[in-house]
Homo-oligomer: A and B are copies of this chain.
């Protein structure tokens, strides 16, 4: 493994010049630069990142806590991680994975990783309603960026990027309305979820604007499962035989709706239009395909990394980015 010194000796310049050739090539005369680059090539030199980091005290590594919630599967996690890595790499950085206990119990792990200079900062996801991590990190002045809002009544304890769930639900409602649906229900979760309330609100608002009924058409599911989605759908259909549209808070709940429709001999996309959220791999693998609201993962990741690594210093709490989901239309809402 060649070092800077060896390259310098080979190119007959000082180490400083080799370092500049790498980090500030404009400072060198073209012929010197070329000579140095030839030596770098020839010796197959790669700068040692640890030495660099020790000197600059920046490791160019971003911490991400890999979630472990058996009961809430993150079906689009591989997409998110891939996008996050790719975005980090575009700035010469990488993602360091770690595990930590949920909530505030995990914070010493974050603190330790930062203090020992294994990472420069953190990307938080799986943000929970009233998530305590953000406030803690802010307190410790540890740089971070959140994917997802904390949904506190007061201001957000830090910068965030999120997808506009209300706008997503509204898009789904308008799409179903255009397809002729007039009684559109909403499958939700518990009231305590900020995310659920956001998406529910978008459904209600869009229905009102289009003059569609909402009363009795929102059902809360106890958990995010196919079974619960099917149960809620059964409840809706029993109460309202003219129901012709279902906007579900998640792909899993939507899959439950599809199953209950099938059980009753109703054809999704023909008798009842159904939409989900997240455009998980399942949406494309069922038949009919599930219309779903795709989170723009590449844009989300790019914003997260760009805010966290802003050269003007660590982000403050006023940085907010609300991105729009994209409706991916499949057979469950529009037979074709």
Residue ranges of A at the interface with B (Cβ–Cβ < 8 Å): 1, 44, 46-51, 53-54, 57, 59, 61, 64, 66-68, 73-75, 77-78, 81-82, 85-86, 89, 94-99, 112, 115-118, 225-227, 230, 252, 259, 262, 281-282, 285-287
CA distance A226 to B78 in the complex (A): 20
Please name the 4 residue pairs, one residue from A and one from B, whose CB atoms are nearest each other, closest first: A73-B281, A46-B115, A95-B97, A50-B53
- Please give me the residue from chain B that is nearest to A62 by CB atom: B97
Q: In the assembled complex, how far is the CB of residue A275 from the closest CB belonging to chain B, in whole angstroms?
A: 19
Contact B287 A49 (CB under 8 A): no
Q: A77 and B75 in contact (CB under 8 A), knowing A95-B96, A226-B287, A285-B226?
A: no
* Sample (5) of A-B pairs whose CB atoms are under 8 Å apart: A46-B112, A77-B77, A82-B99, A85-B97, A94-B97
Contact (Cβ within 8 A) A226 B286? yes
Interchain CB contact under 8 A, B75 and A281: yes
CA distance A128 to B317 in the complex (A): 45
Of the candidates B44, B75, B94, the one whose C-beta lies within 8 Å of that of A98 is B94
A86 to B74, Cβ gap below 8 A?
no
Residue A99 contacts which of B77, B85, B230 (CB distance < 8 angstroms)? B85
Shortest Cβ distance from A17 into chain B, in angstroms?
20
Q: Which residues of B contact A285 (CB under 8 A)?
A: 73, 225-227, 252
Query: Contacting A66 at CB < 8 Å: which of B49, B81, B116, B259?
Result: B81
Contact B1 A115 (CB under 8 A): yes
On chain B, the residues within 8 Å of A98 by CB distance are: 85, 89, 94-95
Count identical subunits in the complex: 2
> Which single member of B74, B95, B116, B281 contacts A49 (CB below 8 Å)?
B116
Is the Cβ of B94 less than 8 Å from the Cβ of A82?
no
Q: CA A67 – CA B68 in complex, angstroms?
A: 19
Task: Report the separation of the CA atoms of residues A282 and B81 in the bound assembly, to the nearest whole angstrom.
Answer: 20
By a CB distance below 8 angstroms, the chain B residues around A50 are: 50, 53-54, 57, 59, 117
Whether A51 touches B49, Cβ cut-off 8 Å, given contacts A82-B66, A89-B98, is: no
> Cβ of A86: which chain B residues have Cβ within 8 Å of it?
99
- The distance in angstroms between the C-alpha atoms of A18 and B44, with both chains bound, is 38
Report the minimum CB–CB distance from A221 to chain B (whole Å). Answer: 12
Partner of A262, one of B61, B68, B262: B262
A124 to chain B, nearest CB (A): 16
Q: Give the contacting residue for A48; candidates B51, B61, B78, B116; CB below 8 A.
A: B116
Contact: B61 with A96, CB < 8 Å?
yes
Other contacts beyond A49-B116, A96-B96: 14, CB < 8 A: A44-B115, A46-B116, A47-B116, A50-B57, A50-B117, A67-B78, A73-B281, A75-B75, A77-B77, A77-B78, A78-B78, A81-B81, A94-B97, A94-B98
